[in-house]
Structures are given as structure tokens and as C-alpha cells.
Amino acid sequence: MNLLRRAIQQVQKRFFIDHGDYRRTVLLAGTGRSGTTWVEDIVNFDNSFRPMFEPFHSRQIDLIRHWRYRQYLRPDVADERYLGPASAILSGKVRHPWIDRHNRRFIARTRLIKDTRVTLLLKWIKRHFPEIPQLLLLRHPCAVAHSKLKLNWDTHLDVFLDQSDLMCDFLSPFLDAIRSAEGPFDGHILTWCIENYVPLRQFAKGEILVIFYENICVAPEPEIRRIMSFLGKPYTDAILDDLRRPSTLSRNDSPIRTGEDLVTSWRGDITAGQVSRARELCAVFGLDGLYGGQSVPQIGGVDVLPVSSVHR
């Protein structure tokens, strides 16, 4: 039976029908290691979506090979080099082993895109594809940095500094802080700040749904109800069953994905000095109030937008 199930899954990843209407796409974004794959699994608990994994990864997908890694575009940019590929991706016309690794549908009329390299493009996508509902997932910056450090991930700060429009529009006031990064921990905190600051500055209330990883862990039902309501999908208690299953990308040593232990587990490896340094860097971007030194958010998702433009 297991062999048959695996065979069917392989067929579903390669041979399926996608009806290709971008208006029936949901976009879930967040910085890497923020729990996006887990939330994707929760939203798609009933396998109603074709899940599309990281289709805006320019180092994996040939169609956007000419894009920057973590591309930023001003919302009014109407260049076909970006619009054409984005339309193909958002309409589900792109197939790739990287993208379709989690697909379990033969016929797809809706799709759920999960991507951790698209936060700087969210407002541009909203301008050109306004019917697509967007979710932005936030997780504590120290938890994200802790997870990335364990995996020895690069910070990719140079990718942001090399984009002149991004620097001009958002990051030039923070150049000294970015250049002051001392080691990978600082770099990962700064990446978290940049990838969240830009969309939080661009969007107004009601344009995007901001959700918190920690809220799903500690008090899942209200946060999941918000998500389903935003997407126009009914809530059912069956969704909570997915909270007991780790995502397909979670590490073998990850704790159970519910409750306080997951929210605070990173504190065992992150020093008080690092926590203080993270808050200092977040304060430069005006983002320190999101968590305020605590492990759980101190502000509701509705109240996040738009983040202050005051540069400290």
C-alpha cells in the first residue's frame, strides 16, 4: 500500500491539470524558517489547493533566472520581463519538480503559493494582480535566526544592497546598521527586518492579512479563523488536526508543533546578549514593538499595518 501511495504521489506531482486562472490563487509569504510550509499545510488541510512551493526562486526556476534573488520591484513597474513570468507562475502554468514537490491533486482549480523569497514583491503583485489574497506570516526574529543558524544558511545581505531601487525607496536610512552586522546572527536578524519592513511599510489595513506563527501555536483557533475568513473558506475543527503534524520541511529535532515549548524553544540556544542585540537592530527599523522583548507578539495582526516610517 505504501508503494502504491508513493507511486500515485509521484504521478500527481508530474501529471495534473491546472485550469490556470490567477484570480483563484492564494499567496502565502514570509521570511525563511518562519513556518510558511506548516501554515501552507494547515490552509490546505483538505487538499483543495494545488500547492506551489517557492516558485519565485530565481536560482531554481529558469523562467525567472534573469530576476534578482529576492527581487524588489516598485509597484508601478510594468516591464514584461517581470509581468509575463509572474502571470505564468500565478496562473499555475509553470510546472517544475521544485514547485510541485507537494502536489497531491490531479485536477487543480485553485492554487496556494508558498514563497519565502517574495516579500519584497508583494505590493507589486498586489498592484498588477489585485484579486490574489495575500498572507504575510511573521515569526520572532530570534526564532528565525536560530533556525537559520542551525542550518548554516547564508544571510544574503548583499542581495538587498545591490538593488538600487530598494536602497533608494527603503533601505538607505538603514545602511549604517546593515553594514554594522557582526557575524551571521546579526545578518539573519537584519534579513528578517528587511524582508518584513518593506511589505509592512507598503500595505494598508485590509490589503493583506498579517498573521503570527506564535499565535497559531498558542491560540490556534482564533488565528486560523481569521485566515479562513480572509480567504472566504469555512472553518472546521478538522483543521486543528494539522497542528499536530510537523510540516514537510521541519527538522527531525523540532519539538511538537503546538504550545509554549515551540514558541520559546529557541531561547535555550540564544543568549541574553543576542536577544538584546536583535531588539536593538529591530528598533532601527521601528519593528521592536512587534514582540517587545517577549516570545509572543505584543500587537495584533490588524494593528501592524502600516508600520511607522520613523527611522531611529
pLDDT tens-digit series, residues 233-255: 999 999 987 676 666 556 444 44
Q: What pLDDT was estimated at residue 252?
A: 47
pLDDT tens-digit series, residues 78-109: 999 999 999 999 999 999 999 999 999 999 99
pLDDT tens-digit series, residues 280-302: 999 999 999 999 999 999 998 88
Q: What pLDDT was estimated at residue 311?
A: 52
Q: What percent of the chain has pLDDT over 90?
A: 84
Q: What pLDDT was estimated at residue 249?
A: 56
Q: What pLDDT was estimated at residue 9?
A: 56
Is residue 100 within 8 Å of residue 174, measured between CB atoms? no
Q: What percent of the chain has pLDDT over 70?
A: 89
Task: List C-alpha distances in Å: 32 to 7, 133, 149, 211, 303.
Answer: 30, 20, 12, 15, 23
**pLDDT reading at 266 higher than 50:** yes
pLDDT tens-digit series, residues 116-135: 999 999 999 999 999 999 99
The Cα 304–Cα 285 span in angstroms is 13
Q: What pLDDT was estimated at residue 312?
A: 46
pLDDT tens-digit series, residues 140-198: 999 999 999 999 999 999 999 999 999 999 999 999 999 999 999 999 999 999 999 99
Mean pLDDT, the chain, rounded, equals: 91
Strand 111-115 vs strand 107-108: parallel, antiparallel, or unpaired?
Answer: unpaired
What are the helix (H) ranges across 47-182?
80-90, 122-128, 141-151, 157-161, 164-166, 175-179
Output the pTM of the full model: 0.91
**pLDDT reading at 264 higher than 60:** yes
**pLDDT reading at 214 higher than 70:** yes
Q: Residue 296 contacts by C-beta under 8 Å, 6 or more apart in sequence?
A: 212, 214, 215, 218, 263
